[in-house]
Amino acid sequence: TYVVTDNCIACKYTDCVEVCPVDCFYEGENTLVIHPDECIDCGVCEPECPADAIRPDTEPGMEDWVEFNRQYAQIWPVITVKKDALPDHKAHDGETGKREKYFS
């Protein structure tokens, strides 16, 4: 599966949702997540993210992110149409530790 990681938080560009063939992106207030059981591993969303927030779970240290994505994909609504990024997205792009800050 692919997963949405830290740099989506507080940015949420949403370019990714338009290309997913199985519509497995889900939207929360501050970030998006991918449903790990629905993602077919096609990889087309990865280069679409301007924040480079989408990673394959084969990269080291992704277990936590898979669980984060799974947890919220089960409770957030699906998103299939691109919308404006969050107002302060430029200021938050590249900031570290956003998950701790926004989800604790």
Binding track, positions 20-49, relative to ligand SF4; x by CB under 6 A: xxx-x---------x----xxxxxxx----
Instruction: Please report where in the chains the tokens 């970030």 appear, as a residue.
Output: 31
Binding mask 56-95 for ligand SF4 (x = CB under 6 A): ----------------------------------------
Quote the CA–CA distance of 84 and 75 in Å, as a whole number: 22
Residue with Cβ nearer ligand SF4 (79 or 85): 79
- Residue 8 interacts with ligand F3S (CB under 6 A): yes or no: yes
Rounded to whole angstroms, what are the CA distances from 70 to 32, 33, 52, 76, 91? 11, 8, 20, 10, 27
- Distance CA(92)–CA(22), nearest Å, equals 29
In the bound state with ligand F3S, the residue whose beta carbon lies nearer, of 11 and 24, is: 11
Determine, following the binding rule CB under 6 A, whether residue 8 of this chain makes contact with ligand SF4.
no
Q: Does 24 bind ligand F3S (CB under 6 A)?
A: no
CA 56 to chain centre: 11
